[in-house]
Amino acid sequence: MHIKSAEFLVSNSEVSKCPKDLIPEYAFIGRSNVGKSSLINMLTNKKNLAKTSGRPGKTQLINHFKINNEWYLVDLPGYGYARVSKSSKKTFQKFITQYFNKRTQLVTAFVLVDIRHLPQPIDLEFMQWMGENGIPFSIIFTKADKLKPNAITKHVEDYKNIMLETWEEMPNYFITSSSKFIGQEDVLGYIGELNDNMENQGFLKD
């Protein structure tokens, strides 16, 4: 897929106020400081489309970006370790749940996981929640440039071994690096395939 245009559209704290047009959307979510903004900028070839920050938990709204005037990329707040008050955290964790339960335009989510670390309970628990609620998702392993190939393989296997204890199969996954543009074609190609399927089903509207 070639990205011809990518523009910020709107931020919301309420799912009911999200865009109403019936075009496919893809949600990106992960633990705070997983490199979500950098990944979004890499995928869209726009350095400052999503605002990066050294302060984890900065994204606290549902951010919609319109891509190629055909689909939405949705930037959701990170879960865990955000340096915000407990009341603020409860508020935006609530609308994350509402987003996934109510957003009919959602085709699939991408759960971002830092490949450098051993499987983290917070990531495993979130993906378990997604599975239990029937929400389709793929895993995007980020920051692959920080590890050697053998270490990447081992860490992915660690996730497989743990997840297959309760999952029938390992979810679809991608290996990425925002700084090296690793995985860009794979992720965008996957979204392109899903968009083609949606169009064939009459999902895309003029």
Q: Residue 199's pLDDT is what?
A: 73
Question: Can you tell me the mean pLDDT for 140-166?
Answer: 97
Q: For residue 49, which amino acid is it? A: L
Rounded distance, CA 5 to CA 27, Å?
18
pLDDT digits (tens, 9 = 90+) for 33-81: 899 999 999 999 998 898 765 444 445 789 999 999 999 999 998 876 4
- Write down the mean pLDDT value for the chain: 88
- Check residue 49 and give its pLDDT: 92
pLDDT score of 121: 92
Amino acid at position 162, single letter: I
pLDDT at 52: 61
Q: Which of 45-54, 97-106, 161-170 has the lowest mean pLDDT?
A: 45-54
First CA to last CA distance, the chain: 20
Give the ranges where the chain is alpha helix by DSSP (H).
Answer: 36-44, 86-102, 121-132, 149-163, 184-200
Which of the 8 DSSP states describes residue 119?
P
C-alpha to C-alpha distance for 173 and 183, rounded to whole angstroms:
10
What pTM, to 2 d.p., does this model score? 0.90
Q: Which of 62-66, 96-100, 152-156 has the lowest mean pLDDT?
A: 96-100
Distance CA 189, CA 169 (A): 22
Q: 84-98, 116-130, 131-145, 153-167: which has the minimum mean pLDDT?
A: 84-98
Write the CB contacts of 82 (distance below 8 Å, at least 6 apart in sequence): 32, 56, 57, 60, 89
Question: Tokens 């245009």 — which residue?
Answer: 5
